[in-house]
Structure 1
């Protein structure tokens, strides 16, 4: 079964593995040392990351080294960018509305305060 990059980043352990591998290639034992899960569980996470194209595994002697392939995350960036634009527009409109509401609210408060002052002076 071919998985997609969104399945890979859905799991916090896999996100942490991607972060580690973005710094430098590591063998499976070095990756497993950073987690409180079994080495077979780490291997399963690596397999999923490999199926998604986020990690490449290279055999060096008896060791299997994992390398991050971060260019695959562009799919996530492209997808989230559409929603960033959408939410930026919505939040900008909300900010404008609140600023206008606050300005009109200050005007109302000033009018009320002026009425109270004028009533006291009568």
Structure 2
């Protein structure tokens, strides 16, 4: 499957947006992210989805700002403890059972029984 050319995708979106809204969109690109009319930054794949939404709604209503806003407002799903896969367990640091204080206490008792421990 060929990777879509960004210029073609932006051109198709501009044409669809212009035909529906009657004005050209203000598209600002920065590091692979695109801001359309000062809105939320989106990726190229989301612009393709917005183009499809504009073309579908373009034949029905003259205003597709709802369709554009809907696609732009969709955020990727956030993972929470309820949506996390079952095989990922909550990992807490395990205690090794080794204590330096106990080590020195045992060492002193074996070398010199009855001696006092250091503070």
Structure 1 length as normaliser, TM-score?
Answer: 0.33
Higher helix share: 1
**Which structure has the bigger radius of gyration?**
2
Structure-2-length-normalised TM-score:
0.33
